[in-house]
Amino acid sequence: MSDPTETARRQRLAEINGEPKERAELEALYGEVFDTRQLATAFIVLGFAAPFIAVKRKCDGLRGSLEFQAVPRYYFNFVAD
């Protein structure tokens, strides 16, 4: 089965993990940043295809996506559907 998003995802994955950033840098670029515990508190995870994760925000049910980097593991750049 062919994944039409694979090339774009691999490119973004290489960008994110090629130069991983610390939390303060990510916050300056994208706003709110979550570690794994904070992610579990704020969102229900619906699925993922690295470097993206589909989520539903617990406080209001809004669905969207976040990006994540491997090390240090941070989730950032929430975009509502």
Using one digit for the tens of pLDDT, what is the confidence trace for 12-35? 999 999 999 999 999 999 999 999
Give the count of beta carbons closer than 10 Å to the beta carbon of residue 55. 23
pLDDT of residue 3: 86
pTM of the model: 0.93
| pLDDT score recorded for residue 75 | 98
Instruction: Please tell me the predicted confidence (pLDDT) of residue 1.
Output: 73
pLDDT at 2 (0 to 100): 84
Residues in the chain predicted with pLDDT less than 70, given as ranges, are: none
Rounded CA-CA distance 32/64 in Å is 14
- Element spanning 74, H or E: strand 74-80
